[in-house]
Amino acid sequence: MATKINSVSIDALIPYSNNARTHSKRQIRQIADSIQKFGFTNPVLTDESNNVLAGHGRLAAARLLGLKEVPTLSITHLSAAEKRAYIVADNRLAEKAGWDKQILAIELQALVDLDFDVAITGFDIPEVDLIISEFSPDNQDDEVDEDEPGLPEKSTGPAVTRPGDLFLLGDHRLLCGNALSAANFETLMQGEKASVCFTDPPYNVPIGGHVSGLGKTSHREFAMASGEMSDDEFAGFLEQSFSLIAGSSKPGAIAFVCMDWRHIAETTLAGKQTFGDLLNLCVWNKTNAGMGSLYRSQHELVLVFRNGKEPHRNNVELGKHGRHRSNVWTYRGANSFGTSRMEELEAHPTVKPVALVADALLDVSRRGDVVLDPFGGSGSTLLASHKTGRHARLIEIDPVYCDLIIRRFERHTGKQATLATTGETFEELFEQRGSVKASGVLAKTASARDFRGTVRAAWKRQSFRRTRQNSVRDPSA
């Protein structure tokens, strides 16, 4: 029995012509990647005449890599019949091994935490998500159980968060600021690039009269794009925010942008001009209809853009990994009957289901990826990122909604948010800032109307008014 490993020319090795084991191009590529990462750690087994007994896949991968020689171990004690039997047994016996899924989940999660490319293990990204999520305490769906409490109650006092605050929420970040500021993106991202963006910008539609709470719920208008902009102004608003998203995202990153039917044209145009290709238009099909005149609205639209021309990640692959997805997404709307969903509508007028966002992230990203949302709103993107093992980076302009995001995160995870500059917890800041007496300045800006006026005046000073190009206005140009 041979015990010495020799380096042999690839051209001198003879594959077994009746090898019943097949290797797809994809698998050979995976083996090649493994060899590049770890080295040729498992030699090709041959007989005394350099006929390959085991390692046909490794040999094909070596050819793909352009290697001239490979390590071999010569087995000389087997008869002709034993060689044929060994070739079958070597492949079949390996198939009979199983996995301790819980231990495997721990090992894969450890690799994710180390920022290691888990695809090199041979598991596809969707498989990794499924294995880890099966045993992850963060994968509890707070929207399935009707008895699960919804969002935290709205605070009636001044906001704890102040403009410019950067909060750390576990692996996630939240910045209170304007999504039209390049400096804010730099502060938030700190040199990182997002692999996916899921964002729900304001629709330039007044909240009053367009958001239903069965007559019992009223909301403050959004700070920007809440019906006060002209079509040109809103298009400029979208282009500016989209360009900052694109600049903070990796080439090939997917941007999911929510919008209603009234402004689908402006959103499509702005997205194509800044991101590039519109890959699809998905429809959130709600289980309950909302408000409307001729027709009651029961859907929202999610435009799917790709940032640049680089290939995008596709974890769906037509259901190959069990993800059977179409461009119609059916999830409960915020006005669905049920305690938790009505509480969500009371806290924020356009809250998105965490499950909807989580599924979108699972479609096009992997664990450990950075997820960007510059219109943080109620924080559904952050919770979906936490649930799926991604790292959320949020901007939210309204301090009141920043408070909501933080309290929602703390309630959901049991973890505490801290101010990045001082390390103080949100509760400690509440003790310092959470009363009118503690902050006279804060009390003066607590009014929703005053806050909106300040933001909109600043927006106009930045002159984001936009004149459409002649080629867009005049098709004959």
What average pLDDT does the segment 354-372 reach? 96
Other CB atoms within 10 A of residue 34 CB: 18
Tokens representing 402 are 């920043």
The percent of the chain in helix, strand and coil, each rounded to the nearest 5, is: 40, 15, 45
What average pLDDT does the segment 342-368 reach? 80
Strands 328-331 and 299-306: unpaired
Ranges of H-type helices in 170-303: 182-189, 231-247, 264-274
What percent of the chain is modeled with pLDDT above 90? 64
- Count of alpha carbons within 13 angstroms of residue 293, beta-carbon side: 1
Fold of 5-95: 3.90.1530
- Separation between Cα atoms, residue 228 and residue 222, nearest integer Å: 10
Q: Compute φ and ψ for 86, nearest 5 degrees.
A: -65, -40
Give 19-22's long-range contacts (Cβ < 8 A, gap of 24+). Answer: 19/52, 19/56, 19/87, 20/88, 20/91, 21/56, 21/57, 21/91
Q: What angle do CA 188, 193, 197 make, to 5 degrees?
A: 85
Residue 8: pLDDT over 80: yes
475 vs 276: which has the higher pLDDT: 276
Residue 444: pLDDT over 50: no
Complete DSSP assignment for 374-436? SS-TTSHHHHHHHHHT-EEEEEES-HHHHHHHHHHHHHHHS---EETTT--BHHHHHHHHSST
Output the pLDDT for position 340.
52
pTM comes to 0.76
- Separation between Cα atoms, residue 152 and residue 407, nearest integer Å: 7
Contact between residue 31 and residue 38 where contact means Cβ atoms under 8 Å apart: no
Going by pLDDT thresholds of 50, 70 and 90, the confidence category of residue 452 is low
Output the pLDDT for position 317.
84
Q: Which superfamily, per CATH, for 136-473?
A: Vaccinia Virus protein VP39 (3.40.50.150)
> Which residue type is seen at 97?
A
Beta strands in 153-262 (DSSP E): 166-169, 172-176, 194-199, 249-259
Where b means 16+ CB within 10 Å and e means fewer, 236-270 reads: bbbbbbbbbbbebbbebbbbbbbbbeebeebbbbb
What average pLDDT does the segment 462-469 reach? 47
The CA-atom distances, in angstroms, between 244 and each of 201, 265, 365, 377, 385 are 13, 20, 20, 18, 21
- Separation between Cα atoms, residue 302 and residue 296, nearest integer Å: 19
Strand order in the sheet with 166-169: 328-331, 278-286, 299-306, 249-259, 194-199, 370-373, 391-396, 172-176, 166-169, 418-419
Going by pLDDT thresholds of 50, 70 and 90, the confidence category of residue 445 is very low
In 3D space, the residue among 405, 453, 400, 399 whose CA is nearest the CA of residue 226 turns out to be 453
Going by pLDDT thresholds of 50, 70 and 90, the confidence category of residue 381 is very high
- Separation between Cα atoms, residue 471 and residue 473, nearest integer Å: 6
Contact between residue 2 and residue 53 where contact means Cβ atoms under 8 Å apart: no
Say what the alpha-carbon torsion angle 454, 457, 459, 462 is, to the nearest 10 degrees.
Answer: -130
Contact between residue 326 and residue 318 where contact means Cβ atoms under 8 Å apart: no
- Separation between Cα atoms, residue 335 and residue 353, nearest integer Å: 11
- Separation between Cα atoms, residue 232 and residue 250, nearest integer Å: 28
- Separation between Cα atoms, residue 420 and residue 422, nearest integer Å: 6
Residue ranges per structural domain of the chain? 5-95, 136-473
Task: Please give the biggest Cα pair distance in the chain.
Answer: 92
Residue 441: pLDDT over 50: no
What average pLDDT does the segment 340-350 reach? 51
- Count of alpha carbons within 13 angstroms of residue 270, beta-carbon side: 28
What percent of the chain is modeled with pLDDT above 70? 78
Across the strands, what pairs with 199?
Answer: 257
In 3D space, the residue among 237, 303, 242 whose CA is nearest the CA of residue 268 turns out to be 303
Going by pLDDT thresholds of 50, 70 and 90, the confidence category of residue 450 is low
The string of pLDDT tens digits covering residues 126-184 is: 899 989 988 887 765 544 443 344 556 556 678 999 999 999 999 999 999 999 999 99
In 3D space, the residue among 127, 94, 184, 182 whose CA is nearest the CA of residue 396 turns out to be 184
Most confident of the ranges 282-291, 312-321, 323-332 = 323-332
Contact between residue 274 and residue 218 where contact means Cβ atoms under 8 Å apart: no
Tokens representing 316 are 């769906």
Strand order in the sheet with 69-74: 5-9, 69-74, 44-46, 52-54
